[in-house]
Structure 1
Amino acid sequence: MAAGNHSTVTEFILAGLTDKPELHLVLFLFFLGTYVVTVVGNLGMITLIVLSSHLHVPMYYFLSNLSFVDLCQSTVITPKMLVNFLTEENTISYPECMTQLYHFIVFAIAECHMLSVMAYDCYVSICNPLLYNVTMSYQVCSWLVVEVCMMGLTVATAHTGCMLRVILCKATIINHYFCDFLPLLELSCSNTYINEVVLLCFSVFNILAPTLTIIGSYVSIIASILRIYSTEGRSKAFSTCSSHISAVTLFYGSLTFMYLRPSYISCMDQSKVSSLFYTIIVPMLNPLIYSLRNKDVKVAFNKIIEKRPFCIS
């Protein structure tokens, strides 16, 4: 069905992060640098895991998938935002807006569940180490990743399908730097009750369910660590999950503030800042967190550098 059948608006203007033109160049350079670090960091992490045989274990298999999700998430948002900093009118067509919304939801939901899967992997490795190879077999890991992808696709299809039925005609300006669900609903001239119910249900499930999984996993992990008598053993066990804890705190903190806050404290300027964390900042920080705080990654990187096949004669 054509976009015009769903909405009287065929093109939107993205308000962006600021209405001060003098800041656009500074913001462009900052987010260009952020995107370059994101691409290099996540592609580097994926390449390192693929090339290093001793990283071919479930933990790094999930980490490579997380890096792929982060790379895609940032690519859905950042290039369009960079272009908008350099143009006078930050326009986006209706089909482009719906496409951006769909892919944003896919990768945001995938990251939610991938982080919970990684928490479960930490739980099994620390609390049931003797059964680790059986519990986290190649088949189990593959199915977990497939389920994460299917969850993202299902939620994105439901949200985007509900959005396509909404008539957007109040204005053409989206008060955000990308096509997000809540700013689009503000432009609706039709009843959005179904959209809000679907958003609330999926938000509760896709934020609270993984959060409870992560909390449950770490309660068991902490209990197991406390039963370890040696300081060295405790330190080693904690270092296994410390990077994941940092990534979870950053991602879920910003996501919860955006989608589960009460409506009476809604503020789009605060929402933009919150959105920046889980769409741009977190995808950049994740590979840095996992590389700087992980000895296995450092060792693998040093081995790759030592084995470089080129030299200058």
Structure 2
Amino acid sequence: MTDRFKAAWVATVLAAVSVATQAQEVTLKAINAFQEGTYFAQNFEAFVKKVNEEGKGLVQIQYIGGPKAIPTLEQPAALRNGVVDMAATTASYAGGIVPEVQALNYATVPFQELRRNGALDYINQLMAEKNLMYFARTGDGVKYHLYLTKPISRPDLSGLKVRIAPNFREFFQALGATVIQTPPGEVYTALERGVVDGYGWPLLGVFDMGWQQVTKYRVDPGFHNLEMGVQFNLKSWQKLSPEQQTFLERQRDWLERLALEKSMADVAIDLQRQQDAGIQVITFKGEDAQEYLRKSLDTAWAGIIRLSPEHGPKLRELMVAEQ
């Protein structure tokens, strides 16, 4: 074999290997329910970066951005219909498609226990019927709070208009509030113009949209558990090879550790930031605090069971720790 022939043969083999590698690589299109760079977008963005760095030749993620690409409340349908393959979002926004998925907000046992005890498998069986799959948790270990522009002394929101997400609609209604659902990007203007008197939001992320400028009070204690996650179009997941799925599951484990560690560290930071920004704390105590927390859980699960009488009781059994 001449040197020229050897060189040509090697080049042919390398080209064939390159083509085969390219054929194996899959690009997944992903969307975020939250504006790029904001607090609740950052963990998923770190995940995308890590996947793209370590998954060359195997898996890549085309991150098309946040609500400007697809409005937040339209993203679950876009995911189900295959417009995108992945969505970094919250179960609350998918509740119109799979009502039971909102139960993830009301779990009182740790998320990893939901993986172990079958609760997440149960949720995914229900999501599979709508071509969806819950893949990863990107926000954990943080409570929701009520933020207000007007003071209250008891858990009574009569006469107040409060911006809500679907996962705490019934709770605030039970407290007497008039509830208004808007995307996060519209909350600042709604507060500024007096369209709403407050909003429900996790302890973290208030500063992303400048809401501290139009927020006077935070109500303690916090309620429910923050749920942020990554959902997959089920058919897109099933098309991946076992190697690609294993790679993404390994990245998922890294993401979930990052999310929990970051949340725990950031809670103390944001508590101080809110204090420095002049947000005053209204703290319910004694019976008021007990009533507030009891009502937050009871109304939430009553809603799940009403929407899904077959599955709701079983999900509560798996997700709520014995009192």
If the length of structure 2 is used for normalisation, what is the TM-score?
Answer: 0.24
Q: Which has the higher strand share?
A: 2
If the length of structure 1 is used for normalisation, what is the TM-score?
Answer: 0.25
> Based on CA coordinates, which of the two structures has the bigger radius of gyration?
2
Q: Which has the higher helix share?
A: 1
